[in-house]
Amino acid sequence: MLAQYLDIKPEVAAALTAGEPVVALESTIITHGMPYPPNVETALRVEQIIRDHGAIPATIAILKGKLKVGMTPLEVEYLGKAGLDVIKTSRRDIPFIVAKQADGATTVASTMILASMAGIKVFATGGIGGVHRDAQQTFDISADLQELANTDVAVVCAGAKSILDIGLTLEYLETQGVPVIGYQTDTLPAFYTRESDFSVDYRLDSAEQIAAALTAKWQMGLKGGVVIANPIPAMHQLDRGMIDDVIVDALAQMKQQGISGKASTPFLLTKVAEKTHGKSLKANIELVLNNAKLAAEIAIEYAK
Ligand code: PSU
Ligand code: MN
């Protein structure tokens, strides 16, 4: 049964049994979202921030076919060093990685699935996948959105990168009944910048208010996830014009090289990092740390 696949770290299992706050973390951001070694350093700092704020971190991945909920620092180092050699694993890929007893880096979608299997309700990451620009032609819509429609986990993120079509991403989420909360913001943050041209569904100004909405949603049996969009701290945000130019450039290169499917997002993330000479990486690290803190606060309020 499920127990033979699922490997919950003892510390995480104990916290869940005791009803203590736990925050899930994804691993594709480690393997495909950042280079080594800042990826490992960041992953470990994120875990520490969650602890400092009074919750237990659970970094999620698949290792030798086991669904790992909570990893040791050595396991995080192993995964981060392997980087792009680890298979990016979304919902469709999970059974194949497990059957092969291989390693898999979990995306937002698959991290939500494993978190939900373990009973974790709050998850912190950088950015979610979404509807790509030109999706009208390519049909490239991240499985993250469908997962948000179906799986009861709240995802704290810095909004959606403008490698995506933010407007279409919001339309898709609306259709699927996924609420988009802005934490202390009226517009959906665009990852590197605090603002976009699009409004969030609900602005909430405290972790307590957010936890109350989550409790109401799930106690009533309204299935599905929630997007909690937390703007990057002002001092770390990048210039909007600069980053937009970089993204347009990266998109053109992607088209030219014929890159599509699951390779698209990692390609764009890498190009953006190259073209900003590491500025985007620094911003990415800061916003993830910021999201981890908010996620811990929400998990604590939710556990009350
Ligand atoms: N967006 C980011 N950083 C990331 C990702 C997305 O700003 O690291 C990763 C996440 O793991 C997300 C995945 O779930 O990419 C989405 O990939 P795709 O678009 O192929 O579904
Ligand atoms: Mn895609």
- Pair of tokens at residue 142: 């991240």
Task: Please identify, by atom number, the ligand 1 atom nearest to the C-alpha of residue 29.
Answer: 8
**Percent of the chain topping pLDDT 70:** 100
Please list, in sequence order, all residues whose beta carbon lies within 8 angstroms of the beta carbon of residue 11, skipping any fewer than 6 positions away. 56, 70
Decide if 145 contacts 172 (C-beta within 8 A).
yes
Mean pLDDT of 67-80: 98
Is the C-beta atom of 127 inside 6 A of ligand 1?
yes
Encode pLDDT of 43-63 as tens digits: 999 999 999 999 999 999 999
* Separation in Å, CA 93 to CA 29, 71, 90, 106: 17, 20, 5, 10
Query: Cα(184) to centroid of ligand 1, in Å?
Result: 24
Decide if 12 contacts 118 (C-beta within 8 A).
yes
Q: Where are the alpha helices (DSSP H) in 53-129?
A: 73-82, 94-99, 108-118
Is the C-beta atom of 27 inside 6 A of ligand 1?
no
Q: Which of 26, 27, 29, 246 to mutate to test the pocket of ligand 1 (most atoms within 8 A of CB)?
A: 29
- Find the angle CA(165)-CA(35)-CA(245) to the nearest 5 degrees: 35
Q: Looking at the DSSP assignment, which residues form a beta bridge with residue 206?
A: none
Encode pLDDT of 285-303 as tens digits: 999 999 999 999 999 999 9
User: Regarding predicted confidence, which is higher, 148 or 161?
Assistant: 148
Count the neighbouring beta carbons within 10 Å of the beta carbon of residue 275: 17
Q: Is the predicted pLDDT of residue 122 greater than 90, yes or no?
A: yes
26 is catalytic: yes
Query: Cα(262) to centroid of ligand 1, in Å?
Result: 9
Task: Please identify, by atom number, the ligand 1 atom nearest to the C-alpha of residue 34.
Answer: 8
Q: What is the pLDDT of residue 278?
A: 84
Mean pLDDT of 2-21: 97
Query: Cα(266) to centroid of ligand 2, in Å?
Result: 10
Band of pLDDT at residue 161, cut at 50, 70 and 90 = confident
Please list, in sequence order, all residues whose beta carbon lies within 8 angstroms of the beta carbon of residue 261, skipping any fewer than 6 positions away. 140
Q: What is the pLDDT of residue 243?
A: 93
Q: Looking at the DSSP assignment, which residues form a beta bridge with residue 156?
A: 124, 228
Taking the CA of 145 as reference, the closest ligand is: 1
Please list, in sequence order, all residues whose beta carbon lies within 8 angstroms of the beta carbon of residue 159, skipping any fewer than 6 positions away. 127, 166, 188, 189, 190, 191, 196, 229, 231
Band of pLDDT at residue 277, cut at 50, 70 and 90 = confident
Q: Whose CA is nearest to atom 10 of ligand 1?
A: 107
Domain count within the chain: 1
**Percent of the chain topping pLDDT 90:** 95
Encode pLDDT of 171-189 as tens digits: 999 999 999 999 999 999 9
* Separation in Å, CA 20 to CA 47, 113, 127: 16, 20, 26
Q: What is the pLDDT of residue 162?
A: 82
> Which of the residues 9, 121, 161, 279 is marked catalytic?
161
Whether the predicted model's global pTM rises above the 0.75 cut = yes
Q: Whose CA is nearest to atom 21 of ligand 1?
A: 142
Is the C-beta atom of 29 inside 6 A of ligand 1?
yes
Q: Is the predicted pLDDT of residue 40 greater than 90, yes or no?
A: yes
Is the C-beta atom of 159 inside 6 A of ligand 1?
no
Q: Is the predicted pLDDT of residue 42 greater than 90, yes or no?
A: yes
Query: Cα(98) to centroid of ligand 2, in Å?
Result: 22
Is the C-beta atom of 297 inside 6 A of ligand 1?
no
Encode pLDDT of 209-266 as tens digits: 999 999 999 999 999 999 999 999 999 999 999 999 999 999 999 999 999 999 998 9
Encode pLDDT of 82-113 as tens digits: 999 999 999 999 999 999 999 999 999 999 99
Task: Please identify, by atom number, the ligand 1 atom nearest to the C-alpha of residue 160.
Answer: 7
Domain of residue 53 covers 2-303
- Among residues 128, 117, 121, 129, which one has the least CA distance to residue 7? 117
Taking the CA of 267 as reference, the closest ligand is: 1
Query: Which CATH number fits the domain that encloses residue 290?
Result: 3.40.1790.10
The Cα 190–Cα 239 span in angstroms is: 11
Average pLDDT, the chain: 97
The Cα 65–Cα 95 span in angstroms is: 9
Helix, strand, coil in percent for the chain, rounding step 5: 50, 15, 30
Q: What is the pLDDT of residue 192?
A: 95
